Amino acid sequence: MMFRVFINILWFNIGAKKPCGIVTVNSRNTNKKHRQQQYHACFGQEAFHINSTNQNTGHNQPFVVSHAHEDPHVLRERFAQWGYLYIKQYVPLAACENLLGSLLSAATPHIGRRGSLAPHLQAEPFFETDPAWDEIYPKIQALESFHSFFHQQHLLELMEIVSGREVFVYPMKMARISTPGKIGYETPPHQDAHSHHAGPTMAGFWVALHDVTAAMGRVKVLPKSHERGVRPVFRTQGVGGVQCEIYPDETCWHVSDFEAGDVLIFHSCTVHKAEPNTTADTVRISVDTRFCDHGAPVFSTNLEPHHGWRIPGLDWAAIYRNWNDSKLQYYWRDYPNLF
């Protein structure tokens, strides 16, 4: 089906005084690769290069802790100031345990669990795109409980507190599995503004399903990095295969140990990354998605299953095959602003 899309996005970073760019897309092309190239060309992000750009890990400071019961204006101001919100144990432990149990069932026999302890590796280490991952991930994606997790009312309410208005939850839901024995393959510093082709109202919503210590590979953010716009990127090893520029004066990262139910929400331009899993056999498992103001532009690849572009048979028809409820199936089809 032929269609025309006219988009003019003025990129204002929350908390920044000036726009970081203007995107204009005029497309009559249904080819996704072509539209993606147009988008990259607008941002100047197609010129990947391999170099040794400053990857200084710097030093760490604890996350600034927020609480969901605080005044929404205070939370939005803090989000604008730091580029993230870290909210302790917002998701009930029972909900985390239920979802974690389902994910572990899908990950059998590669990953197991001893009682209430953190998951542990029972086979060879792996990371995203390895054969073990490709075996496990379609089973995870087919879980109705995995997708519906992010549509629970109290999670939607928290998203709307951050946004200040009605939100659209991306259909792309993601599970993260960090095993030991894969140092160097952890997620490198990046911005979702690039990887999701996202506008300034998009934010990441990450949930710890179990306690996470430093050795297990925590997620960390570069505070206030959202104020400096969309950055140049280059190819690197690790999940996603792309790293964004880290500037010489950016040496302080925010990170803390997580407890089950902790939520980390980060701006689309906030630089974030994963630490390596240096344990002997402990596996870190978390889940995340993205959301934006309802009506904000959403790039078409965000409507596809995570890794559906590379795992044969991982599509929505397969994912929905054994669901009991159709309410969340194809709920984005009538979304008003896709490109």
Task: Give the integer Cα–Cα distance in Å for 111 and 118.
Answer: 10
Distance of CA 55 to the CA centre of its chain: 21
Distance of CA 236 to the CA centre of its chain: 18
DSSP three-state, residue 287: strand
pLDDT of residue 56: 52
CB atoms within 10 A of CB 28: 8
Q: What is the CATH number of domain 56-320?
A: 2.60.120.620
Closest CA to 63 of 34, 84, 80: 84
pLDDT of residue 240: 87
Calculate mean pLDDT across residues 31-50. Answer: 39
Calculate mean pLDDT across residues 22-28. Answer: 33
Calculate mean pLDDT across residues 220-242. Answer: 95
Calculate mean pLDDT across residues 154-166. Answer: 97
pLDDT at 289 over 70: yes
| Low-confidence winner among 34-48, 220-234, 279-293 (lowest mean pLDDT) | 34-48
pLDDT at 33 over 80: no
pLDDT at 37 over 80: no
Strand 167-169 and strand 284-293: the pairing is: antiparallel
Give the neighbor-by-neighbor strand order of the sheet with 59-61: 59-61, 252-254, 219-221, 272-274
Instruction: Specify the higher pLDDT residue, 220 or 34.
Output: 220
pLDDT of residue 57: 60
Instruction: Specify the higher pLDDT residue, 239 or 172.
Output: 172
pLDDT at 14 over 80: no
| Low-confidence winner among 55-59, 75-79, 109-113, 307-311 (lowest mean pLDDT) | 55-59
The amino acid that residue 250 corresponds to is E
pLDDT tier at 58 (50, 70, 90 boundaries)? confident
pTM of the model: 0.85
Question: In a 10 Å sphere around its CB, with 0-12 CB exposed, 13-18 middle and 19+ buried, how is residue 245 labelled?
Answer: middle
pLDDT in tens, 94-148: 999 999 999 999 999 999 999 999 999 999 999 999 999 999 999 999 999 999 9
The C-alpha angle 214, 219, 223, rounded to 5 degrees, equals 115
What percent of the chain has pLDDT above 70? Answer: 83
Strand 252-254 and strand 111-112: the pairing is: unpaired
What percent of the chain has pLDDT above 90? Answer: 80
Closest CA to 222 of 278, 270, 156, 284: 270
pLDDT of residue 242: 92
Calculate mean pLDDT across residues 294-304. Answer: 96
For the chain, give every domain's residue range. 56-320
pLDDT in tens, 161-174: 999 999 999 999 99
pLDDT tier at 35 (50, 70, 90 boundaries)? very low
pLDDT at 2 over 70: no
Calculate mean pLDDT across residues 291-301. Answer: 96
Burial 197-223 (b: 16+ CB within 10 A, else e): bbbbbbbbbbbbbbbbeebbbbbbbbb
